[in-house]
Chain A
Amino acid sequence: MSREITVFLQFDQCVLVKQNRVLLSEVASIYGSEPAMRQKIGALELHRFPKEQKEKQVFSVMKVVELIGRAYPEVTVTPVGEPDFIVEYKPEKKRKFEKAAEWCKTGFVALAVFFGSAFTIVTFNKDAGVDEIFPMIYRLTEGAERSGPGELEIAYSLGLPLGIILFFNHFLRKKIDSDPTPLQVQMRQYEKDVNATIIENATREGKKVDV
């Protein structure tokens, strides 16, 4: 009696939820020609986390197709995007020192980056023999030894921060162009690798929610 309805669902690789009841509308963007059906599908419950604690669960899109097929057999589901996705459940808890703890951790990493990069440049200078190359250039161009650092050292010291600013594409919050910085790119790449590994592990250990 009813005509066929097609619904498109797009999934992201990883979604963060705060409630233990996970609805389809939270994990996918849903499009279909009938808004009422979109609403009904969005309200379907995909999963319920049993405990009030941080947890990650991997789902196959097939599970979603089955869920919709059971509730609304007249609907044709067309999934787009990731074939598997992660739902990360993080119950909202107000911890007092969360902000302070985060700044402590940031401070820790900042100190490691500061002293670490300082250490690295000095080891580079020593390893590459910068303190021999500059005197050599003075000797070749002036025909005599020089005592102490001069123009080359000053310019090199200017060039270093300049190079890093060019490379990282910003200083403090001021960006040179609108591209993300290399570390931001690397960060996303790392995140993607982690997500892919979580999905692979869940598949291999049979912990993925599948049909």
Chain B
Amino acid sequence: MVKKTFSLQKNVSRFIDNGQLRRNLRFSMDTMKQTRAALFSDKSEFETLRKLGQSIRQRSLDKLPELLVQLEEKCTANGIRVHWAETVDDANQIVLDVINQHGSSRLVKGKSMVSEEMHLNSFLADHGVDPIETDLGEFIIQLAGETPSHIIVPAIHKNKAEIADLFHKKIPDTPYTEEVEELNAIARKILRQKFFEAEIGISGVNMAVAETGTLCLVENEGNGRMCTTLPPVHIAVMGLEKVVEKLVDVPPLMRLLTGSATGQPITTYVNMITSPRKPGEKDGPREIHLIILDNKRSKILADPQLRQTLQCIRCGTCLSHCPVYTRIGGHAYGFVYPGPIGTILTPQIEGLKNTNDLINASSLCNACEEVCPVKIPIPDLIRRLRNESMSNKGSVEGAGTKRALSEMSAWKAWKLINRHAVLNRLSGKAAAAFGKQLKGIGPLKAWTSCRTLPKFARKSMLDLADENGVSDE
């Protein structure tokens, strides 16, 4: 679903003055940062671990084609049916076909960002099926008719009172309460019944192990286990980059994932799904379908630098640490993946034209790179995408979309001034002389919305150095 009119700038204006949102985000992100920092308190140990995580992910991507073939073989041998989807439309259709084969209408769903990428819920709704989101955060935003604003904590933009109000208004016979235990109990009671009735469970996949054909799923509420064990049919959706080579690759990545995401050494539930119910077994689904989605990922893989985007394990810690995300929240990013990872991933999936000024959603402060558990050089990739947006020779879809004569000329002039010392000195003097008169124009107007104008010195450092006889050799 391409939002043709996306403009980060416009979205920012919508969200930035929402004080409640800012306070909710600040509080929650601080908490998430603190719990993560407490777990990874030993810096050298963390550095060692994340280098390992990076190398596992890079090796997986280097061998991706063969690992995917191996994964399909192993899964198939285990009794899991594997489906390949090049586009989100393909993936949605596969889900719908499985639903139709079984004549099912009662679906429960665990948290999955790939299903968000597919806009699966609205697709299914168009076909008369309404899956129930069972992750508490997802349950809340489904009630509110919203999309996730954070990869890990989808309803983080809402506080207790907002959720209390939502439950009171949207769930019949629900008194207003801000007691967290009571709110949990309300959701739990509804979801329990849905689990019992469900005919199909849909889940995401955190990692898929090629060596064994195992789907790994981490979660804290038990809803993921319910979705993948109670209904007779389980459909798992994953992006094709989520494969790892060996079972031994899982523990370090898992530690990095849960530690970065929620500051937990391990999640409350760790599901390792290797086959449907076998003869003689008393529980588990009778059918498992694995849908492996490309949606531009193979194109990203083909570029040695941009490929690093696919190392991502979706821990969301780059969001929590991002000063931009903390000010505007996930919805301002306009597409499925917000924050720094969204800033690099979304333009590669949706194209640079459709994502417009999204690549400007960064001050390049490097906080994301500093915490990324698999060492994705996010600021470098943002720069690369900015280069692509300005270049006719770029390889990313929509390359050159930001080429505007005014900006191109401005940088050509900048180059000229900075390659010729005499010009440079003159331009400095001009700025000192005329700076104040430029207040209402272009960039300076933006600057002076909350700041006074920079004060150009009467004598530049070059002048002072001359006067003081500093050596020029």
Binding between chains A and B: no
B residues neighboring A (CB under 8 Å):
none
A residues neighboring B (CB under 8 Å):
none
